[in-house]
Structure 1
Amino acid sequence: MRPFVYNANPARVVFGSGTIKQLPDEVRRLGLRRPLILSTPEQSRHATQVEELLSSLGIESAGQFNNATMHTPLDVTEKALAVANERKADGVIAIGGGSTIGLGKAIALRTDMPQIVVPTTYAGSEMTPIIGQTENGVKTTQSTPKVLPEVVIYDVDFTLSLPQGLSATSGVNAIAHAVEALYSQTGNPVVDVMAEEGVRALACALPLIIENKDDEAARSDALYGAWLCGTCLGLVGMSVHHKLCHVLGGAFNLPHADTHTIVLPHALAYNAPKVPEAMAKLARALGNDDAVEGLNVLLTKLKVKRGLKEVGMPEDGIDKAADLAVKNAYWNPRPIEREGIREVIRRAWAGEPARSDF
């Protein structure tokens, strides 16, 4: 058995269908009197549902802030903080995906307000002490217990309306967390088990959702897998895949889940020669003899976009991204060399099938 260190993150998780009904009890348990409800404009109906649920049981809220934005831009955070201060909010309830959860974390970072999160996608940010923020086109990340949500309510019902395309990319985004956890410098046997099971659950469930978006059993399995993968992200360090996605998202304002989906197989192929044990576990989880090919097959089944050029990245941005990616590089099992990283980005930009010939 290899030496390891394992630290569990404190968080209360409520999982099931219809679990939103337990939200008022969780608000009371945290002693909140005026929580501010956060969402994106598209998720405002869910925010209204939460506000009405609390009001029906005599719990006052500080109203809603419905302008959460991808990549957590600083100016949006400042506007949300102004609303929270003006309305004397004492906590936040974030309902939505990574954009909303990121805003809740940004507020908590600056105020220490407790957070309750109701995820509606499979992104996994709710289980991590990690926050990424964007200012002047540069996305930076940090890890601090201050941004770890106190309560996460997983309600499968809120994922039933998630469009199939976003279900696929959000789910692959979650898989990316587990993939990098399997070869993390700070990995351990407990995380390995969660990572493999999380990938297996999502790889089985996502194609079923593409066939039938109303498959409740598949939706439940996917959310379970996303919880496991998000937990992995919160417990160990990430590597070149996440570095690339942070660079690409911040520099070109690319959609978060699509970027993870497109980059993942190429980043894995880059690291493959140095992580044979992780590759074997991942291949088993994907039901394929080869992990890279297993990802190629899964992405084909999910009918997702495969090229960064399809989601708005210009070809002349390849070199800029490569330069940014080798600055302040994350630890990686294979040395971060500009020529190789540029080729990862180029293949991802072109939408080529991933192959392990770096």
Structure 2
Amino acid sequence: MDGFQYLSARSKLLCRPGAIAALAEEAAALGTRRLMLVSGSRSARGDAAQAVRAALGGLLAAEWTEIPQHSGVDAVTALAAQAHEQRIDGFVAVGGGSASDSAKAAAILLAEGGTLQEHANVFYPPDRYLQKVLPAPKLPIIAVPTTLSAAEVTPGLGIRDAQGHKLVFWDANVVPRLIVLDAAACADVPASLLASTGMNALAHCVEGMYSRVRNPISEGLALQGIRLLHAALPRVVANAADTEAREQALVGAYVSGLVISNARVGIHHGVCHGLGSLGGLAHGVANSILLPHAMRFNRLAASGPLALAAQALGADTPGLTPVQAADAAITEVEALQRRIGVPLRLRDAGLDRALLPRLAHGAMSDRGLYFNPRLACEAEVLELLEAAW
């Protein structure tokens, strides 16, 4: 076994129906007295946000409910300025990945100063990656996820710049100090949204299996995450009122975040970042479509890990070669796509085919390509996109 390192964040998880009711006590334990709720406009009207307001009472000093899908530099800069003006001492992110990423980015900006762009990581193709060191202590974040993005679990985040490029960051100090999984408070979230964001979580697990920095701990977590999500997502879609299935899906997504907190992501997410920030696709939708294509791209370089993933997906693999088992994993993912009704092609999601060359070019500077088991040139990324279109 090769040597490896593993980072464990200082984070507490509460998982039970009604867990949001404990927020005031938990916030006090963190030493926060002036919290800001961070969410998108739709999430701000949802059951989870209403429960957060009721639980926190006077500890909630301000709200910022203008987070857009694929949150951008301007939005985060305005959020940080408002937090500074209101003397906020912590954030409560409610909703999906954009809310969590915006709270993390605002915490970085408040602590490190300068501009957000100065703190972004940079990948220089084909194999040089520069990760910025962000040592300043950050305001604590409480996360109440209502989707399965798992953004609330990881040290990573992505913010869109003015040119449509996704800036990526990595800072262990912004991992939320408290994560609350309350399936009862997410009952109003559409099953279709959980299905697409669940494919994002599944992609975390699959990419963590074959990442260049994978390790035995993240592999074990990835296999369990695959099992949980593969079982829960069809149940959520079949019965939107199944709280137990929603909780299992939330836990599976949480586990997927633990996976990529150490194993990172690969070409799949490297391309999906641009599909969202430039192409305008919801991140879950992009993930739903691209995952089997990314797996097929890596099938020879990662046949062993994908063979293990096939078993976790329920494929019958005895007697198969590793490559055949990898193909079985791809087949199982495609079957899951159809079972839960997510989009299958980029054209079905409304992506302009004329953007594909720009998307391929932009992906070449994404860190996901650095951690992918197979190095890729721009022409190969374009070929992958064409196959998915």
Q: Which TM-score bucket, shorter chain as reference?
A: over 0.9
Deviations 1:259-292 (A, max 9, x none): 1111111011100111122111110111124100
Deviations 1:273-316 (A, max 9, x none): 11122111110111124100010100010111111122232111
Deviations 1:226-283 (A, max 9, x none): 1111111212222111110112222222211101111111011100111122111110
Unmatched segments (≥5 aa) in structure 1: 350-358
Decide which moves more: 326-335 or 206-215: 326-335
Counterpart position of 1:315: 353
**Cα RMSD over matched residues?**
1.4
Contact 2:223/2:309, CA 8 A, preserved across alignment: yes
Counterpart position of 1:106: 105
Q: Percent identity?
A: 32
Q: 2:191 and 2:300 mapped to 1: Cα distance?
A: 33
Pick aligned residue for 1:186 from 206, 210, 213: 213
State yes or no: 1:83 paired with 2:120. no
Deviations 1:42-62 (A, max 9, x none): 01134343223222xxx4321
Query: How is 1:148-163 mapped onto 2 (pairs within 5 angstroms)?
Result: 148-163=175-190
Q: 1:310 and 1:3 mapped to 2: Cα distance?
A: 44
Pick aligned residue for 2:144 from 97, 102, 118: 118
Q: 1:263 and 1:139 mapped to 2: Cα distance?
A: 17
Query: How is 1:199-218 mapped onto 2 (pairs within 5 angstroms)?
Result: 199-218=226-245
Contact 1:122/1:173, CA 8 A, preserved across alignment: yes
Q: 1:298 to 1:3 in 2, by over 3 A?
A: same
Deviations 1:60-85 (A, max 9, x none): 32121111112220111122123212
Pick aligned residue for 1:226 from 236, 250, 253: 253
Helix, strand or coil for the counterpart of 1:274? coil
Contact 1:107/1:113, CA 8 A, preserved across alignment: no
Decide which moves more: 41-50 or 172-181: 41-50
Q: 1:281 and 1:37 mapped to 2: Cα distance?
A: 41
Contact 2:15/2:182, CA 8 A, preserved across alignment: yes
Helix, strand or coil for the counterpart of 2:78? helix
Amino acid at match of 1:156: A
Query: How is 1:179-328 mapped onto 2 (pairs within 5 angstroms)?
Result: 179-289=206-316, 290-327=328-365
Helix, strand or coil for the counterpart of 1:51? helix
Q: 1:44 and 1:8 mapped to 2: Cα distance?
A: 31
Q: 2:59 and 2:153 mapped to 1: Cα distance?
A: 27
Counterpart position of 1:355: none
Unmatched segments (≥5 aa) in structure 2: 111-137, 317-327
Q: 2:59 and 2:361 mapped to 1: Cα distance?
A: 50
Q: CA deviation at 1:209?
A: 1.1
Helix, strand or coil for the counterpart of 2:10? coil
Q: 1:303 and 1:219 mapped to 2: Cα distance?
A: 17
Contact 1:238/1:330, CA 8 A, preserved across alignment: no
Q: 1:43 and 1:182 mapped to 2: Cα distance?
A: 32
Decide which moves more: 2-11 or 137-146: 2-11
Q: 1:327 and 1:32 mapped to 2: Cα distance?
A: 38
Q: 2:341 and 2:329 mapped to 1: Cα distance?
A: 19
Amino acid at match of 2:66: N
Helix, strand or coil for the counterpart of 2:93? strand
Q: CA deviation at 1:317?
A: 1.1
Helix, strand or coil for the counterpart of 1:92? strand
Amino acid at match of 1:192: E
Deviations 1:160-191 (A, max 9, x none): 22211111101111011111100111111111
Counterpart position of 1:129: 155
Decide which moves more: 245-254 or 219-228: 245-254
Counterpart position of 1:92: 91
Contact 2:107/2:174, CA 8 A, preserved across alignment: yes
Decide which moves more: 83-92 or 171-180: 83-92
State yes or no: 1:338 paired with 2:378. yes
Amino acid at match of 2:159: Q
Counterpart position of 1:20: 20
Q: 2:187 and 2:334 mapped to 1: Cα distance?
A: 26
Q: 1:110 and 1:213 mapped to 2: Cα distance?
A: 39
Q: 1:327 to 1:77 in 2, by over 3 A?
A: closer
State yes or no: 1:7 paired with 2:3. no
Contact 1:62/1:84, CA 8 A, preserved across alignment: no
Amino acid at match of 2:70: H
Contact 1:105/1:147, CA 8 A, preserved across alignment: yes
Counterpart position of 1:352: none
Runs (4 or more) in structure 1 with deviation over 6 Å come to none
Decide which moves more: 202-211 or 304-313: 304-313
Q: 1:213 and 1:48 mapped to 2: Cα distance?
A: 20
Q: 1:17 and 1:48 mapped to 2: Cα distance?
A: 15
